[in-house]
Amino acid sequence: MSKVIGTAVNRKDGRAKVTGTATYAAEHQIPNLVHGYLVTANIANGQIKSIDTSTAEKSVGVIAVFTHKNAPKVFMPSNDFVTSKIYEARLPLSDNKVHYAGQIIGLVVADTFERARDAAHLVKVEYTAQKPLIDVKQASLKEPPPQFGEELKFEKGNITSGMASGTTKFAATYKTSTELHAPMEPHAIIAHWQDADSLTVYEPSQWVAGTQRTYAELFGLPTERVRIVTPFLGGAFGCKAFPWPHGILCAAAARQVKRPLRVVLSRRQMTANSGHRSETEQLISLAATADGSLTVIDHQVKSSTSPVDTFAEPCTGITPVMYTTPNLRMKQELAVLNIGTPTFMRAPGENPGLWALESAMDELAWQLKIDPVELRLKNETKEHQRKGQPFSAKYFADCLRVGAEQFGWKDRPKQPRSLTRDGKLIGWGMAAATFPGLRGKATVKVRLLPDGTAHILTAGNDMGTGAYTVVAATAAEELGLPVEQIRVELGDSLLPDGGLAGGSMMTASLVPAVMSACQQVLKTAKVKTAQEAFTNLRQSGRSALEATASSAPGAEAKKWAFQSWGAHFCEVSIDEEIGRLRVTRWVSVMNIGQVINAKTAASQVRGGVIMGIGQALMEESHLDPNIGYPVVYDLATYHFPAHADIPRIQVAFVGQPDLNFNPAGVRGVGEIGITGVSAAIANAVYHATGKRIRDLPITPDKLL
Ligand code: MOS
C-alpha cells in the first residue's frame, strides 16, 4: 500500500479555486433573490432620537425598511459555545441604543443591491449623542468572566519571595494595536426561507452544525428545519464561526419579505461589525538567578471589549506552558469601550501573549548575557504549570535546536549593531511558538461506489486551510486508493456533524473519524481492501457501500496536556536613515505531531508567519476620537503584507506522532504559525539597532 499520509499532496480544491467554480456564500444563484443594505450608526455612543424611513421606503425598487421600530422577532439563543453561539449578545435592532460607531441600526431591502444602498442613505436619523469612551486609559477596568470554564487569573508560589531570590530582574510593558480581520472573502449571507419555517443559509461559517442550531434557536425552529451551506470559505481566522448581527438580521428580514435575501458587508462595515483583535497592554516581570533559572514569571494584561458582549483576549493562556518557575502569576483586566465587539483572531491570546513573553525573555537573555536559545532550553517546562499534567510528545527543544542549526544561529555576533550589509544594519532574532492541541467530536460518512471511487462526507469545513486534501489523503491511505479516486464533500449541515473549524482543530477532529469510517466500511463489507469491495459492488449490482463513524476526545485529557511547539528564527535588514525594515530571511521549525499533508501544513505555517509579519510591521486600527470610527476602512488603508514584503519562509517539522492524543497522532496546524512571529522580529530589530521596541506595529517612525 502506498504511503500517502505525511507526503506532499496537491490541493483537492485547487482547480475549483483557480477556475472560479468554487462557490462562496454570496455567489450562490438563488432565483427571485432580493438585496439588503445595512444602515449603520454614525455616532459611537447614545440613542436614536428619531429615525425617518419614509423617503427610503418610497425610493425606486425598495421592498422594506427595518429599524428598531419594526424589528423582526428573533429569540435569544442559549449562546454557550456548546449548543449555540452568537458573536454579539445584543440582538440586532433590539432597541434605540447605539453602543459603537458603525453599529447596525437598520436594513433596507430592494430589488437590486444599488437601489438598496441608495435608499439606505435616504434614511434620516437624529441622535442624542454622548461622548464615546474609546481610550483604555480612561476606562474603568473589570475582571473578565471565565473563558471556556477557566478563570483568566492564576497564581502559584509567592511573587515577592521569588523576586527576592532572583539576582537579575526585568519588567516591561508591551503593547499590541487593534487589528482588523481582513479575510479575502468579505462577510456575506443569503437567507432563503422555503416556507415560513424552513430556512437555508448560505454563509461563510467555520461551524455549520453549531450555526444550524443557532439559527434554529434564533427563529424557534427544530434544528432540522435549518440548513447551513458553506462548501468554501475565503479565509476566516476566527471571525466566521458564529452568526454576527448582520446575518441574524438578514435571515429575520428574509422571512418577513418572503424572498431570498442577500446581504453583503462593505469592508468599511466590516471594521465595526465582524470582529477585530483587541489592543492589549501587557506588563511582564521576570526574575532569574545568575545561571538563568527563572524564579518569577508575572504577566498582567489589559484588553478591551464592547458594551454589548464580553471578549477578553486571553493572553495569559500561554504563561504557564512555556517556562518553568516556582513563582508564577497571571491576571487579566478588561475595559469596556465604545467599539465593535472584538473576537477570536488567529491564535487569540497565544499571539499577543507570546509577543510580550518572548520579547521579555529576549531582554532577560541580553541582561543575563545568555544566548536566548539557551535561556529557553534551560527553562523549558515539562508540565503544564496550571493543569499540573505532563505534556504529551513535546519536542520543543528539537524545534529550538533544529531551527538554530538551519538558520546558522551559532554565527550570530554577540553585540547589537555589529552586522551590516549594503550599508544597512542586519539583525537576527528568534522566538518560541506554541498553540494548544485541541480536537472535538466529528462524524464522517464514507461511501464506496461501483465506479471505484470513495466519497467522504462531513459537515466539517475547509476555511482554505486544506481540510479537503487532508481528508482525501487520510481516506486514500486507509483505503489503499489513489487520492484522485477520493471525492470529499464538506461544509453542509445536511452531512454528519464534523465539528468546528477553529482552534486549529479541524484536522485532529476529522482525521481519526475518517480513519474509523474507512475501516468500518471495509469491515461491514467483510473485505480487506477497497478493490475487493468495488468488485463485490459490481458483481452484486448494489449502488454503494456505506459506513458512518465518529471519533471524539476521551479520558486522555485527564492524564496529558496537549500542546504544539515551534521556534522562529529571522533576519531583518534596516535602513536607519529612512526607517525602512525588511524581513530578509525566515526559518520556522514546528512540532505538530503527525503531519498529514506536508504541503498544506507548511503553507499554514507560512500563512501564519506572513500574518505575524503584518502584525509586527503594519497592522493597526485607530479610532477617530471625535466620531469613534476606525480611521482605516478598506484593504488599501489597512496595511498588511504583500508578496514583496515577504522573504522565502523555510518550514520544517520535527518530532513524532502524538499517539496519546488520537490514533493518527495528529495535533493539527494553523494558528501556531503566527505565534511568536512579532517577538522574533522585535528581537531581531534590537540585535540590528540596539533599540528595543515594545509597541506594535514597528512602523518606520519608531526606527528613525
Ligand atoms: Mo481560530 S481564531 O480558532 O478560527
Instruction: Flag whether 1 is in a domain.
Output: no
Cβ–ligand 1 distance for 502 under 6 Å, the answer yes
Q: How many Cα atoms within 13 Å fall on the side-chain side of residue 131?
A: 5
Match 416556507 to its residue by C-alpha cell: 195
Instruction: Flag whether 488 is in a domain.
Output: yes
Helices vs strands, H then E, count in the chain: 18, 29
**C-alpha of residue 464 to centroid of ligand 1, in Å:** 13
Q: Which secondary-structure segment (H or E) carries 454? A: strand 454-457
Q: Residues 156, 162, 166, 168: what is their CA dihedral angle, to the nearest 10 degrees?
A: 70
Instruction: Flag whether 2 is in a domain.
Output: no
CB 253 within 8 A of CB 225: no
CB 441 within 8 A of CB 552: yes
Residue type, 250: C
Q: Is 27 one of the catalytic residues? A: no
**C-alpha of residue 350 to centroid of ligand 1, in Å:** 11
Q: pTM for this one?
A: 0.97
**C-alpha of residue 265 to centroid of ligand 1, in Å:** 21
Q: How far, in Å, are 99, 100, 101, 157 from residue 132 at the CA level? A: 9, 8, 9, 41
**C-alpha of residue 28 to centroid of ligand 1, in Å:** 25
CATH number at residue 463: 3.30.365.10
pLDDT of 2 reads 56
pLDDT of 1 reads 45
Question: In 3D, which of 39, 44, 37 has the Cα closest to residue 630?
Answer: 44
Phi, psi of 46 (to 5 degrees): 155, -155
Query: Do residue 511 and residue 574 come from a single domain?
Result: no
For the chain (length 704 residues), average pLDDT per consecutive 10? 87 96 97 98 97 98 98 96 96 98 98 98 98 95 93 97 97 98 96 97 97 98 98 97 98 98 97 96 98 98 97 98 98 98 98 98 98 98 98 98 98 97 97 98 98 98 96 98 98 98 97 98 95 95 96 96 98 97 98 98 98 98 90 93 96 98 96 98 98 98 96
Instruction: Flag whether 3 is in a domain.
Output: no
Pocket test for ligand 1, best of 87, 346, 350, 351 (most atoms within 8 A of CB): 346
Instruction: Flag whether 540 is in a domain.
Output: yes
Instruction: Flag whether 127 is in a domain.
Output: yes
Last residue of a domain, one of 498, 518, 552: 552
Please give the distance of CA 325 from its chain centroid, rounded to a whole number: 30
Strand order through the sheet with 442-448: 486-489, 454-457, 442-448, 545-551
Query: Do residue 536 and residue 570 come from a single domain?
Result: no
Task: Quote the CA–CA distance of 107 and 291 in Å, as a whole number.
Answer: 64
Task: Quote the CA–CA distance of 376 and 362 in Å, as a whole number.
Answer: 9
Task: Quote the CA–CA distance of 590 and 142 in Å, as a whole number.
Answer: 37
Pocket test for ligand 1, best of 276, 344, 461, 505 (most atoms within 8 A of CB): 344
> Percent helix, strand and coil across the chain, each rounded to 5?
30, 25, 45
Cell numbers for 165, please give them: 531570590
Query: Do residue 536 and residue 461 come from a single domain?
Result: yes
Last residue of a domain, one of 273, 295, 325: 273
Q: How far, in Å, are 53, 119, 383, 556 from residue 389 at the CA level? A: 60, 59, 5, 11
Query: Do residue 571 and residue 674 come from a single domain?
Result: yes
CB 562 within 8 A of CB 436: yes
Task: Quote the CA–CA distance of 443 and 630 in Å, as a whole number.
Answer: 42
Catalytic residue among 333, 571, 620, 671: 671
Q: How many Cα atoms within 13 Å fall on the side-chain side of residue 490?
A: 36
**C-alpha of residue 502 to centroid of ligand 1, in Å:** 4
CB 104 within 8 A of CB 123: no
Cβ–ligand 1 distance for 237 under 6 Å, the answer yes
Query: Do residue 54 and residue 82 come from a single domain?
Result: yes
Query: Do residue 372 and residue 491 come from a single domain?
Result: no
Query: Do residue 192 and residue 169 come from a single domain?
Result: no
Phi, psi of 8 (to 5 degrees): -90, 110
Cβ–ligand 1 distance for 503 under 6 Å, the answer yes
Instruction: Flag whether 91 is in a domain.
Output: yes
Question: In 3D, which of 429, 529, 437 has the Cα closest to residue 476?
Answer: 529
Q: Residue 409: CB partners within 8 Å, gap ≥ 6?
A: 373, 403, 428, 430, 569
Query: Do residue 397 and residue 478 come from a single domain?
Result: no
Ligand 1 atom showing the smallest separation from residue 238 Cα = 4
**C-alpha of residue 237 to centroid of ligand 1, in Å:** 5
Ligand 1 atom showing the smallest separation from residue 240 Cα = 4
Ranges of H-type helices in 565-663? 598-617
Task: Quote the CA–CA distance of 419 and 302 in Å, as a whole number.
Answer: 37
Query: Do residue 379 and residue 355 come from a single domain?
Result: yes
**C-alpha of residue 347 to centroid of ligand 1, in Å:** 6
Query: Do residue 433 and residue 485 come from a single domain?
Result: no
Query: Do residue 329 and residue 417 come from a single domain?
Result: yes
Ligand 1 atom showing the smallest separation from residue 344 Cα = 2
Cβ–ligand 1 distance for 614 under 6 Å, the answer no
Instruction: Flag whether 506 is in a domain.
Output: yes
**C-alpha of residue 702 to centroid of ligand 1, in Å:** 31
Last residue of a domain, one of 552, 569, 596: 552
Tell me which residue has its CA closest to atom 4 in ligand 1.
238
CB 334 within 8 A of CB 136: no
**C-alpha of residue 346 to centroid of ligand 1, in Å:** 5
Please give the distance of CA 85 from its chain centroid, rounded to a whole number: 16
**Other beta carbons less than 10 A from residue 195's beta carbon:** 9
Task: Quote the CA–CA distance of 536 and 528 in Å, as a whole number.
Answer: 12
**C-alpha of residue 269 to centroid of ligand 1, in Å:** 21
Cβ–ligand 1 distance for 213 under 6 Å, the answer no
**C-alpha of residue 467 to centroid of ligand 1, in Å:** 15
Domain count, the chain: 3
Task: Quote the CA–CA distance of 94 and 272 in Å, as a whole number.
Answer: 18
Query: Do residue 208 and residue 262 come from a single domain?
Result: yes
Domain residues for the domain of 93 are: 32-131+184-236+240-273
CATH number at residue 38: 3.90.1170.50
Q: b/e per residue, 546-585, with b = 16+ CB within 10 A? A: bbbbebebeeebeebbbbbbbbbbbbbbbebeeeebebbb
What Rg value do the Cα atoms of the chain yield, rounded?
26
Give the three-state DSSP class for 129. Answer: strand
